[in-house]
């Protein structure tokens, strides 16, 4: 894992001091809320329905146990004993007091964490593959590149007042576990003639106008990367639309001028930027990479004893192969049936921290599906890990099943919401509570957003649900056929919306239709792609 040196620490500490000063000026009335709002937003502090909400960055979703324990401590001391893990691999606290916020940030800084650029029209926290460093299919660990980008983007003087927020994801596997092409910039690290570089995709996103990022460059060399990304951003900063907030994301620029024209402009800008010497030497990437060296794997390759049936089910569903023999990747589902997707109590956060320290070389990951990963668990320890998880109500064996729902906070917390998301997730999960039925349905990614901003990735759900406001009453639209993985696609709306119970019934009808129509080992989305919308529509509305 990356460790701060004195430079990194000084920058984060200075940020805490600066924010403390900004808060003090606000509390003393030297600045108005209008002036303060962009400042607090640059540091992840929103004013939501019930209180201030703070979003803490978890760079590329990687944490150690000390940091995880700090998240629990903050939940206990400054919030109401829980936190919400988000689709952007961050954590949000819903009940933060402005007057305590600087103290909170100071505590975070003591474990090399911060809330820098977790909101505002700047380059946001860089997201990545939660299996980085553990996946068998990766060409390299993407996190050193993400860290390089984190440093470059932190307080970037030219790109802190962009037309709109800017999200970057970095992966290094053909399997996309980070919804890479639904980001403003998606990077896929690849190897060409033995050399590592990045495939660059620009202009993806969700929100009101979902778009899949087109490839802008098939290969950018490591030592050109920052210049190239700088060029991508400069073209956007100069020409992205600023007249309409809904058209301000880079996806609209790329769409309006076309990928070819955007590519041409970036190439021209890059030719210039490359002369400025903004790229660090490769030694910097090497320095960072050293922190991500593989841990000292030494466990013998033993198969776990499957005689406990509950354990065996969890093993099959939540544990994934590791690149190192003798090890496995453990997924901890934060989706108990009837629970709140992505929420974890302080006590649960502590349990996960302890398990990471004891069994996973002190590492944890947050996934964009709002779950937690222990990336490097020896197979001989799996049963012990499972028992500890079970005792903390964290052994839900539903990874990638219909009850492993992504849901944004919705109208229970969010001031932009049209409808509640969480109760819908709870009702659907409860409807499909029967574990055998869920497993029979198989992989089904269900994603719920409480408004068109699409924080819950509904466009990318095999089944997506969008909350809308129908004359002051909550209403839900259903979409089918989206995907955020390497088979990326945008879901299509089935037809008229539903009320709260109606949407649960509609989901069930769609799922039953799939069970009737599927061939071989087709997943829900495969069947949908083969047969199209009509049979589902008929089942739902017929």
Partner 1 sequence: MKLLTGNELGSGAVTWWTGNGWSIHVEDAVDVGEGGESILHAEEGARRVNAPYIIDAIATPEGPRPAHIKDRVRALGPTVRPDLTLKPADPAAGDWII
Partner 2 sequence: MVEFRYRDDEVTEQPSVTLDAFLDQSNASAVRLEPDDDARKLIPFLDRLTLIEVAFPKFRDGRGYSSARILREAGYTGELRAQGDVLVDQIAFMRRCGFDSFAPEGSLNPEAVERALSTYDQYYQKAADAAVPVWKLRHG
Q: Which residues bind to partner 2, rule: CB under 8 A?
A: 5, 7-8, 10-11, 14, 17-18, 21-22, 25, 30, 35, 38-39, 121, 151-152, 154-163, 226, 234, 237-238, 242, 272, 276-278, 280-281, 283-284, 287
Minimal distance in Å, beta carbon 146 to ligand HEM? 17
Residue 95 binds partner 1 (CB under 8 A): yes
Residue 53 binds ligand SF4 (CB under 6 A): no
Residue 414 binds ligand HEM (CB under 6 A): yes
| Gap between the Cα atoms of 517 and 485, Å rounded | 23
Q: Which stretch binds partner 1 (CB under 8 A): 95-103, 132-140, 270-278, 437-445?
A: 95-103
Count other Cβ atoms within 10 Å, centred on residue 530: 11
Report the b/e string of 221-258 with b at 16+ CB within 10 A: ebebbbbbbbbbbbbbbeebbeeeeebbbbbbbbbeee
Count other Cβ atoms within 10 Å, centred on residue 287: 15
Please identify, using beta-carbon distances, which residue of 45 and 168 lies nearer to partner 1. 45
Phi-psi region of 92 (alpha: psi -120 to 50; beta: other; left: phi over 0): beta
Q: Which of 410, 461, 482, 491 binds ligand SF4 (CB under 6 A)?
A: 410
**CA-based nearest residue to 286, from 214, 356, 196, 199:** 196
Q: Which of 31, 47, 313, 468 binds partner 1 (CB under 8 A)?
A: 47
| Gap between the Cα atoms of 111 and 108, Å rounded | 6
Q: How far is CA 68 from CA 72, 132, 236, 337, 366, in A?
A: 7, 18, 36, 24, 11
Please identify, using beta-carbon distances, which residue of 228 and 314 lies nearer to partner 2. 228
Residue 99 binding target from partner 2, ligand SF4, partner 1, none, CB below 5 to 8 Å by type: partner 1
Q: Which of 33, 298, 436, 519 binds partner 1 (CB under 8 A)?
A: 33
Residue 207 binding target from partner 1, ligand HEM, partner 2, none, CB below 5 to 8 Å by type: ligand HEM
| Gap between the Cα atoms of 49 and 415, Å rounded | 5
Minimal distance in Å, beta carbon 182 to ligand HEM? 6
Q: Which of 409, 467, 482, 497 binds ligand HEM (CB under 6 A)?
A: 409
Minimal distance in Å, beta carbon 474 to partner 1? 7
Would you give the DSSP letter of residue 97?
-
Judge whether 324 and 36 are in contact, CB under 8 Å.
Answer: no
- Residue 274, Cβ density class (10 Å: 0-12 exposed, 13-18 middle, ≥19 buried): middle
Residue 416 binds ligand HEM (CB under 6 A): yes
Residue 237 binding target from ligand HEM, partner 2, partner 1, none, CB below 5 to 8 Å by type: partner 2
Name the 3-class secondary structure at 153.
Answer: helix
Residue 87 binding target from partner 2, partner 1, ligand HEM, none, CB below 5 to 8 Å by type: ligand HEM
Binding mask 303-342 for partner 1 (x = CB under 8 A): -------------------------------------x--
How much helix, strand and coil, in percent to the nearest 5, is found in the chain? Answer: 40, 20, 40
Q: Which of 15, 22, 45, 48 binds ligand HEM (CB under 6 A)?
A: 48
Q: Which of 21, 99, 158, 305 binds partner 1 (CB under 8 A)?
A: 99
Query: Beta-strand (E) ranges in 442-499?
Result: 446-449, 463-470, 473-480, 492-493
Mutual angle of helices 524-531 and 500-517, in 10-degree steps: 80
Q: Which of 63, 229, 411, 448 binds partner 1 (CB under 8 A)?
A: 411
Name the 3-class secondary structure at 368.
Answer: coil
Q: Which of 349, 414, 428, 460 binds ligand SF4 (CB under 6 A)?
A: 414
Mutual angle of helices 143-153 and 225-239, in 10-degree steps: 50
Binding site for ligand SF4 (CB under 6 A): 408-410, 414, 416-417, 449-451, 453-456
Binding site for partner 1 (CB under 8 A): 26-27, 29, 33, 47, 49-52, 80, 95-99, 340, 411-413, 415, 417, 420, 422-423, 426, 472-474
């Amino acid at each position: 894992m990356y460790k701060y040196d004195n430079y990194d620490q000084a920058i984060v500490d200075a940020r805490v001091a600066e924010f403390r000063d900004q808060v003090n000026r606000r509390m003393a009335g030297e600045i108005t809320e209008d002036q303060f709002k962009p400042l607090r937003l640059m540091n992840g502090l929103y004013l939501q329905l019930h209180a201030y909400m703070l979003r803490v960055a978890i760079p590329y979703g990687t944490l150690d146990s000390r940091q995880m324990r700090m998240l629990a401590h903050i939940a206990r001391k400054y919030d109401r004993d829980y936190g919400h893990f988000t689709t952007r691999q961050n954590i949000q606290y819903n009940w933060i007091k402005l007057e305590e916020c600087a103290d909170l940030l100071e505590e975070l800084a003591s474990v090399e964490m911060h809330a820098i650029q977790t909101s505002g029209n700047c380059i946001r926290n860089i997201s990545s593959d939660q299996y980085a460093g553990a996946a068998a299919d990766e060409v390299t660990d993407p996190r050193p590149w993400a860290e390089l980008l984190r440093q470059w983007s932190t307080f970037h003087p030219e790109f802190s007042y962009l037309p709109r927020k800017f999200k970057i994801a970095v992966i290094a596997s053909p399997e996309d576990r980070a919804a890479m092409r639904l980001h403003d910039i998606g990077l896929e690290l690849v190897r060409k003639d033995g050399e590592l570089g990045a495939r660059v995709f620009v202009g993806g996103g969700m929100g009101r106008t979902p778009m899949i990022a087109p490839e802008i460059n098939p290969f950018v060399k490591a030592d050109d990367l920052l210049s190239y990304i700088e060029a991508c951003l400069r073209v956007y900063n100069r020409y992205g639309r600023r007249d309409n907030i809904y058209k301000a994301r880079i996806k609209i620029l790329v769409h309006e001028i076309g990928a070819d024209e955007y590519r041409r402009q970036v190439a021209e800008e890059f030719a210039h930027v490359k002369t400025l010497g903004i790229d660090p030497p490769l030694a910097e990437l090497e320095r960072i990479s050293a922190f991500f060296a593989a841990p000292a794997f030494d466990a013998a390759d033993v198969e776990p004893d499957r005689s406990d049936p509950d354990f065996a089910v969890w093993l099959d569903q939540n544990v994934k192969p590791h690149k190192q023999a003798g090890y496995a990747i453990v997924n901890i589902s934060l989706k108990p049936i009837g629970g709140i997707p992505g929420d974890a109590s302080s006590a649960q956060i502590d349990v996960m921290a302890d398990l990471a320290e004891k069994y996973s070389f002190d590492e944890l990951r947050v996934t964009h599906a709002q779950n937690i990963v222990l990336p490097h668990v020896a197979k001989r320890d799996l049963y012990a890990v499972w028992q500890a998880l079970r005792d903390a109500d964290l052994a839900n064996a539903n990874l990638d099943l219909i009850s492993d729902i992504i849901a944004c906070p919705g109208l229970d917390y969010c001031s932009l919401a049209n409808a509640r998301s969480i109760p819908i997730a709870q009702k659907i999960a409860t409807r499909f509570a029967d574990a055998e039925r869920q497993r029979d349905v198989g992989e089904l990614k269900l994603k719920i957003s409480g408004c068109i901003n699409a924080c819950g990735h509904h466009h990318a759900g095999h089944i997506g649900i969008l909350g809308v406001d129908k004359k002051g009453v909550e209403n839900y639209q259903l979409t089918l056929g989206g995907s955020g993985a390497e088979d990326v696609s945008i879901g299509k709306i089935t037809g008229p919306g539903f009320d709260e119970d109606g949407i649960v019934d509609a989901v069930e009808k769609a799922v039953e239709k799939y069970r009737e129509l599927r061939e071989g080992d087709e997943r829900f989305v495969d069947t949908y792609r083969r047969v199209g919308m009509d049979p589902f529509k008929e089942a739902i509305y017929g």
